[in-house]
Amino acid sequence: MADINITRSHSLGLDAGRTAVGQVAQQLESELGVDAEWTGNTLQFDGQGADGHIEVQAEAVHLAINLSAFLQPMQGRVKSEAEDYLDRHLQS
């Protein structure tokens, strides 16, 4: 089970939802060096200290993050920042 699980509803539809999640991935790649790759409607990501996926659905996205032992103490902060990223990018 993932260390962090977040589900956010949105009204963007599947295609715009994928675009929004793609923008999050680009930001993570440029700022944190995270590698990301789409498999269907799920974006798999892997970075230093964390990995997981973002599943895009027509009316919601689900984010699951696995944290390394190093990042475990910062779980609350990582979750808060992930929620902020999603909330900013999923606004319709």
* Average of per-residue pLDDT across 56-79: 94
% of the chain surpassing 70 pLDDT:
99
Q: Are 55 and 40 in contact (CB under 8 A)?
A: no
pLDDT (tens digit, 9 = 90+) per residue, 14-56? 999 999 999 888 888 887 788 999 999 999 999 888 999 999 9
**Which domains occur in the chain, in start order?**
4-89 (3.30.310.50)
SS (H, E, C) 2-48: CCEEEEEECCCHHHHHHHHHHHHHHHHHHHHCCEEEEECCEEEEEEC
pLDDT at 28: 80
Could you identify the residue written with the tokens 């659905």?
A: 57
Residue 7, CA atoms < 13 Å, CB-side half-sphere: 5
Count of residues for the chain?
92
* Average of per-residue pLDDT across 56-60: 97
pTM for the model stands at: 0.90
